[in-house]
Structure 1
Amino acid sequence: MVGTFPFRRYRQALLGLTLLLPFALLLGAGIGAYPIPPWAIPEILLKGEGVEYQVLTALRFPRVLGAGLVGGLLALAGAVLQGLFRNPLVDPGLIGVSSGAALGAALFIVLVPGAGVLETYALPLFAFLGGLLATLLLWRLAQTPLGVQVTVLLLAGIALNALVGAGIGLLTFLATEEELRSLTFWMLGGFSALTWRLLLAGLPLALLALALLLPLARGLNALALGEREAFHLGVDLERLKGRAVAGAALGVGVAVALAGGVGFLGLVAPHLFRLLAGPDHRYLLPGAFFLGGSLAVLADLLARTLAAPAEIPVGVVTALLGGPFFLYLVLKHKREVYRA
C-alpha cells in the first residue's frame, strides 16, 4: 500500500518538521511589540530576571506553546478523520465538534452576561461541553445494527452544523453590543487569552487525545484498502471508529475551548505532509501534529505583527491561507475523478 514510498523520505520529512516546531516557537516568542532576539532567549531564561524574562514567561510562552498545542491537535484530528472517512477533503468541523463548541461558547456569552473573571475559565468549559455533547449526539445517530456507519456520521454532522449555525445566528440577534463583540472575537479565534493556568487545565485532555489518536496509524493504513479488506486484515473496525471519533472530538474540543474558531489547520497540515512525504499514517499522524503546531504559531505571529499595534484574529489569517489551498484540493480531486 505504501511500500513504494521510500522510508528515508518519511524520516527526513518527520525530522525536519520536528525541528521546525521549536524554531517556530522561538521565533514566535521573540518577535512582538517588545522585540526579543530569539537567539538570546536561552540566556534570558538562565538569567531568570529582567523585563525580557517577565515578557517571555508571563506572556509569550503560554501563548506560543498554546498555539502549538492547538494547531497540533487540529492537524492530528484532521489526519485521523481523513483516514477514517477515506476522503482528503474532510475537516474536523464535519463531525460537529467545532460547531458544538462554538454554540456552547455562544450560549455562555449571551445567557450569562457580566461573568467577569468567571468567563476566563467557564467559557472554555462551556465550549468543550458543547463539542462533547454534539459528538455524542452524532455518534448515537450513526449507530445501526451493523455498527457505526461513517457515511451517516458525515451527513448527520453536516445537518448538525446547519442547525448549530442557526442557533448561533439567533443568539447573535439577541446579544447586546458588548456580547456581540465578545462573541465575534471568540468565533474568529485567537491565542491572546491563553495563560499558564488555562493551558495547564487543558493539557491532560490534550494528552488523552494524543494517546487515543497516535496508535491508530496501522489501522488507518489498513482501512485505506476498504472496510472489508481491513476487517480481513484483523482490524477491529468498531473500536477503530470509536477511538478515532472520540480522540478527534476530544482534541478539537480542547483546541476550540482554548483558542476559539481557528479553521483550516486540520485540513491543510495533513495534505502538506502528504506532499512532502506520502500517506503512511505511521509518519503522517506525528508529522501532521508537528506541522500543524508550527503553522499555528506562525499564523499567530502574522496576526500579531501584520497590523501592529492592532491584532488580526488568527482565524482570519488561517482562513486567508487555507481557503485557497482548499480550492486547490477540490480542483485537484475533480481532475482525478474525471481522469478515473
Structure 2
Amino acid sequence: MRNILVILIAVLTCAACAGEPAFAQLTQTTWDGSEGTNWFEGDNWSGSVVPDDTFEAVIPHNPTGGSVWPVIDNSEVDAEAGKLTMTVSGGTRAKLTIKSGSVLILGNGGALTSTVDGDLVLGDGSLPYGSLKINGTHTITGKGGTIELKEKSSIIPLNDTDDLLILTGDSGCTGYPDDRACSLTVFGIGYIAVRLDNRAFVVGKDASKPLKLDGYDMTGTSVGWWIAEDGGSIAIGTDITGACTWLTKANAPGSFLLGHPDVGDGCVAATGEVILKSGLLSVLDGSRFCTSGKLTWKSVDVNGTPSQAQIVTTGAATATFGLGSASSCTACNVE
C-alpha cells in the first residue's frame, strides 16, 4: 500500500508540472475617476494603487467619481493590467482611451481573459501611435463591446511570437452579422499585427484608409467574421487560415485587399464562406486567396440600384473558392 501511495503522488506531481505555468490570482482594483482622467493617478483607483500586471483593472459604466473614464497619456511609462473588465448598462458604456504615444500592456504572460463590454479606443490619429500590447495568450470577449484603432494605432505582441490574441463573444448569439450586440467588434484604420484567433467581428469601415492585418499568422472559427462595409477595407499582408466568413456588405462598397503598399503581399488558405454583395476582392501579383468554402457573389438592390461586386486578380495572383476540403488550398508557406 505504501508503494502505491508513492506512485500516485509522483503522477500527480508530474501532471501539475506538465501544465501551464502557475500565476498568482489577480488583485481587483476599480476605477472611480475621483481625481480626473489620469490612469496613472493612484487616487483614481480603489486602494489608491495604479494597476500593474498583477491586477484586474475594472472600469465601470458608472464610476463613483462621476462619468469620468480613464485616459492613458504618457509616452514615458507603459500602463499595465493583467486583465480589463469594462461594463455597460443601458446606453451608458465604460470607456478607456490609449492616447497616441502611449501603451497599455495587457496580460501577464499566462492565459487570461478580459471583458470589454464598453469601448476601448487606441490612439487619436497623430504620431507616434497608441498601442495595445498583448502579453501571453489573452482572450478579449465582449457583448456589444468595441475596440477602435485610430490611424497609426496598433495591436501588437509584447514578446513576439509567444503572444496570442483571441477575440470572442457570446457563442449563443444570433442575428449575425448585422446585430453585433452579443459579440466584440474590432474596427478602424490602424494595424492588427499580433497572432490572432478571430471568433468575433473584425471590420474595415472607414472609407479613408484600410484596417491593416500584418506581421503574424491569423486564423479564426466559424463564428468569426472578416467584414468590409461602409466604403471601408481590410488590407491583408499576412497569412490567414480558418473558418471565418468573409463579407462585403451591400450598404456601401467595401474591399478586401490582398497586397497593399502598407503591408505587402498577403495569403489566404482558409475554409470559410465568402459573401460578396458589393465592393471588391482584390488580389495583387505576389498574393493569393483560396478558400474551400462556397462563394456567394450576388448583386442586390441598394436604394434602387443593383450592387456590383468585383473579383480582380493581377499578374500571377489567383482567387479560388469552393474546393470542398481544407486541404484543397495550398498552405500559404508553400510556393
Q: Into which bin does the TM-score normalised by the smaller protein fall?
A: under 0.3
Structure showing the higher helix proportion among its residues: 1
**TM-score, normalising length from structure 2?**
0.23
Q: Identify which of structures 1 and 2 has the higher relative contact order when contacts are C-alpha pairs closer than 8 Å and 6+ apart.
A: 1
Structure showing the higher strand proportion among its residues: 2
Whose radius of gyration is greater, 1 or 2?
Answer: 2
**TM-score, normalising length from structure 1?**
0.22
